[in-house]
Structure 1
Amino acid sequence: MQIPAKYPDEYISKVPEERIPYFNKLRQTILDNIPKGFEETMSYGMIGYVVPKNIYPNGYHCTPELPLPFASIASQKNFIALYHMGIYAKPELLNWFVAEYPKHCKRKLDMGKSCIRFKKPEEIPFDLIAELIQKMSVQDWIELYEKNVKKK
């Protein structure tokens, strides 16, 4: 489910009303904890957190005119999603997150390669998300991206 919006506030205004408080809190958690250098923008129809082109001019290998994506949040049909590319690219980070998740949430972890799905917004582990977001600087992400993700 894609929500058409040009700006994050516009996106949030179109999220189902019962999800808005949780979505706002998730967004604020990210904004309060994301390392310097990342920028909030609309990216791929979601609220994205990217490495801006002035820091990484090469952009994203799939679409070089776009900035390098790092994380995104979205309201999907049946859940709120957090997409974190660092989890996908760094097994140690994924292992840490999987081990920590049960300490913060009773519900079983529901995730794909980089997508963490929250079907019950009231159970989003905001403290854990804050810690996850803090774990990778812009420079860490660029180095990891160039090493593991970017097509050579």
Structure 2
Amino acid sequence: MEYNASSPEDYISQLPEERRPIIEKLRAVIKENLPDGFAEAAGYGIEYMVPHELYPPGYHVTPEQPLPFMSIASQKNHIALYHMGIYMKPELLSWFRGEYPMHMKTKLDMGKSCIRFRPSGAIPYELLGELSSKLTAAEYIQLYEREIAQMKNR
């Protein structure tokens, strides 16, 4: 699904009616729990990033873009939450995998940084809120810079 949105509200307004409440609730949970320092915008969904004011180099692939951290998106067959910290911090991934069964009866459907949910199924909003709170912008910048340094040394 492709959306051309100018704001998170615009993105939500373009979604199929049945997806809007899910994305609205995910957005609210993330905004309520996300530490200070991250900014919200629309892009391939609703994105949360470290703005240039906090991290001037931006995203290494496209430096004019802020450093991406999390996003939520309505995909063809699922709702996706992308969390780069889970990909970069093994302890965070381990924590999430351990907590997930305590909140959900379904099997975890996950890629490296993408957590997928069926739009008709349950979503562990409380757990995703806690996940959103686990890294500050400063901690994420450190993880990101460590990853970039490791990539350069390969």
Same fold (TM over 0.5): yes
Q: CA deviation at 1:143?
A: 0.2
Number of the residue aligned with 1:143: 142
Extract structure 1 runs of 4+ deviating beyond 4 A.
Answer: none
Number of the residue aligned with 1:4: 4
* Correspondence 1:47 to 2:46: yes
TM-score by length of 2: 0.94
Q: CA deviation at 1:121?
A: 4.8
How many residues align structurally? 151
% identity of equivalent residues: 57
* Correspondence 1:56 to 2:61: no
For 1:20-46, what per-residue CA distance to the aligned partner results, in whole angstroms no more than 9, with x for missing partners?
111100000000000001000123x22
The 5 A counterparts of 1:3-152 are: 3-43=3-43, 45-149=44-148, 151-152=151-152
Contact 1:83/1:114 (<8 A) preserved: yes
Q: CA deviation at 1:120?
A: 3.7
Q: Return 5+ residue gaps in structure 2 as ranges.
A: none
Specify whether residues 24 and 106 from structure 1 end up closer, same or farther in structure 2 by C-alpha distance, changes over 3 A only.
Answer: same
Q: CA deviation at 1:116?
A: 0.3
TM-score by length of 1: 0.95
Contact 2:38/2:49 (<8 A) preserved: yes
Q: CA deviation at 1:7?
A: 0.7
Q: Distance in 2 between matches of 1:28 and 1:85?
A: 19
Q: CA deviation at 1:122?
A: 4.4
3-state SS, counterpart of residue 2 of structure 1: coil
